[in-house]
Structure 1
């Protein structure tokens, strides 16, 4: 699915949020590896679950053609610095909901990019009759949890000792959801 491009200016940084295109595939492949190496908030370590440009091209094609998926990028001065995806399920019993995920390179944390990617995704979901958005977040990612709650998400459950981080300790994953009546 596609959205209309939006421009934002936060703390002196101007960026746009737009639908992904096939031309973004290589940048997304590189960006995903970079982000995985910058934070432990993601599911992967740097290089794990690698998706090359061809893999992203397939994903972009699928998401663009599907009315249940949305793939957005955030761009600063023609450079992709973050992205988000909403992925639906084709099974009828799950047709009312999508799962959301987002990531932004560390250099651009604090400019509202993740928040605006989520807001655009919520707007798209609401205008397309989707009732529920779900996501998973590491228990230590307090800023993200507060943002999600501010935008109407509630904690629905906890996956206990779900991830092992670099310190060797186990951490919980929080499952959150936003339901629109």
Structure 2
């Protein structure tokens, strides 16, 4: 019997702490250079260690959710749910996730998503929004599996390294 090593990767999801800031800065920079699925190119909108410390502190104080994923005692990804501060939109949160390419396919993104949905449902958040590149089929399939629906398409929203324009899909999950 052939064993799939991916089945044995243990990963833990936990809240980010200020001591994670240095590694978060480094892995965000690395992830941005590994994929075009995200909004940024490597180095754009760079957040240094102090910036991440402040973000983690602000998130804790404002009831946002900032999670890190660990595999083999190493941070390999993270996600954030940012609540909308405006009263008319206070029922919503924006979700985003990043995972090192080396760790794609291990269920880390799925686990971060599941924890974020649980947090939202437990904290009175009625709607989670996200955006995803139209070519990111695996992510779109995952989001749909967890109750997200396509709410709109931003046509020719971004240009990638091949010089072509691609659509951004806007998705949302409403918890009644």
Same fold (TM over 0.5): yes
TM-score normalized by the length of structure 2: 0.96
For residue 172 of structure 1, what is the aligned residue in structure 2? 167
Does residue 156 of structure 2 align to residue 161 of structure 1?
yes
Partner residue of 2:97 out of 89, 98, 102: 102
Does residue 141 of structure 2 align to residue 138 of structure 1?
no
SS in 1 for 2:45: coil
SS in 2 for 1:152: coil
In 1, the alpha carbon distance for the partners of 2:84 and 2:127 equals 12
CA shift, 1:98, in A, is: 0.2
Partner residue of 1:93 out of 88, 93, 98: 88
Partner residue of 1:44 out of 23, 40, 55: 40
Does the CA-based 8 Å contact 1:138-1:174 persist in structure 2?
A: yes
Give the alignment of 1:18-167 within 5 angstroms. Answer: 18-67=14-63, 69-167=64-162
Does the CA-based 8 Å contact 1:10-1:112 persist in structure 2?
A: no
CA shift, 1:10, in A, is: 5.7
* Structure 1 residues without counterparts, runs of 5 or longer: 1-8
SS in 2 for 1:148: helix
Runs in 1 of length 4+ with deviation above 2 angstroms? none
Q: Provide the alpha-carbon RMSD of the alignment.
A: 1.0
Deviations 1:135-162, CA, capped at 9 Å, x for gaps? 0000000000000000000000000100
CA shift, 1:15, in A, is: 1.0
TM-score normalized by the length of structure 1: 0.93
For residue 13 of structure 2, what is the aligned residue in structure 1? 17
Aligned residues between the structures: 172
